Amino acid sequence: VTGVQRCALPIFNVVSNPDIPYENMSNYVDCSISRSGQYMITFGKRVLLSNDFGGSFTRIDTTLLSGFDDTKYNFGDMSPDGQYIVICNDSGSVWYSDDYGVSFSTSSISGASALKGIKVTGQNVIVGGLNGKIYESSNYGESWTSMRFHGVKFALLVPFQ
């Protein structure tokens, strides 16, 4: 299988990792893993990043994500090689990295609400919301364009590259 893999493995490693104090596991709702498995990131009310195949995790929401709100659930994804990471929350805040999560820049999606699905394939990013809107970025998450599908319920499906 190619592309970014999804699984719950990093969450179990977080619990057993002495570098991160035990937290309520409801803080994490999703994770993304690079094709090689070297880069892993978990999302939710906290954001943790690993660059050593899950051997250790660093909590980045309090250090690298300016304006992060831990009362909201956050969702994200990374490119298949792990270089590009985009994180968003349901109020339209966006954080994006082009250096494997070493640093993050911020942007926002104007008028966005109820964001729940995201897919990063490199410079192209798609975010879907429960309100029937899909937002697209062609520059790694720096700026966004809205597409509206009236009365259509959709599933966010993007093929692996």
Residue 108's CB: how many other CB atoms inside 10 A? 15
**Measuring CA to CA, which residue among 159, 160, 93, 88 is closest to residue 127?**
88
pLDDT of residue 76: 87
Segment 88-132, tens digit of pLDDT: 887 778 889 999 999 999 888 877 777 777 888 888 888 887 777
Segment 94-104, tens digit of pLDDT: 889 999 999 99
Question: Rg of the chain's alpha carbons, rounded to an integer?
Answer: 15
pLDDT of residue 71: 72
Find the mean pLDDT for residues 35-59.
88
